[in-house]
Structures are given as C-alpha cells and as structure tokens.
Amino acid sequence: MNFVHYIGLLAGALTSGAALPQVWRTWRTRHARDISMWQLVLLSTGMLLWLIYGLLIDDLPLIAANTFSICCYVGLICMKIRFDREDAGAVTRGGERPLAEKEFKNVN
C-alpha cells in the first residue's frame, strides 16, 4: 500500500464514521421519525454503486468505506421502519405521543 491508499482509507474512515452518531442516537432514543427514508435509500444506493465501482477497479479504500457505510445506513433504514411502526402503534393505542419522543426532548 502506498501513501495515496492511506489517505483514501483515512478519508473513508472519517466519512463512514460520520454515520455512527446517528445510528447510536436512533438506537438509544428509539426515535426515527425525523429521519428521511428517501435520504437513507438514495444515499445507500449511491454507496452501493461506489462499492461496485471500487470492486471493479480493486480499490480497497472505496470497498472498505462503502461496505461499512452501507451496513450503517441499512441499519438505520431497519430502525426507521421498526421505530416508525412502534410510534404509530403507540399513538393509535393510547392516543398520546410515544414515550421515545418524550424522552428525546430530555436527551438533547
């Protein structure tokens, strides 16, 4: 590996790691209503294309960064689907806002 690859790996680690705070916060608060599903799907699709491109040109930084990012964003998509369903069920059953939303205000 040469210096250029190390720069690519560092850039990939920083940009991919940027997803971790959102993943952690979503998991901790169990609240994903304010996250756009379209943004998650479009970003994941773009990263999948970057991953395919990285595989075709055998570029380790592209492959590693996009594999990690795709895992994070697929996890966010799954949490969004699950927590949005839980929020909808809580509102219809009890008639008040879900507990996660109440707690979310105290987390900030």
Give the C-alpha separation, 62 to 108, whole Å.
Answer: 34
* For helices 3-17 and 60-94, angle between their N-to-C axes, nearest 10 degrees: 0
- Collapsing DSSP to helix, strand or coil, 59 comes out as coil
Residue type (1 letter), 61: P
Q: Is the model's pTM score more than 0.85?
A: no
- Render pLDDT for 30-57 as a digit per residue (tens, 0 to 9): 988 889 999 999 999 999 999 999 999 9
- The whole-number pLDDT of residue 19 equals 92
Give me the residues of the chain with pLDDT under 70, please: 90-108
d(CA 91, CA 97): 6
CA 107, chain centre distance (Å): 19
pLDDT at position 5: 85
Cα distance between residue 22 and residue 75, in whole Å: 11
Other Cβ atoms closer than 10 A to 68: 18
Q: Scanning the structure block, which residue is given the tokens 């996009």?
A: 66
CATH, domain range 3-96: 1.20.1280.290
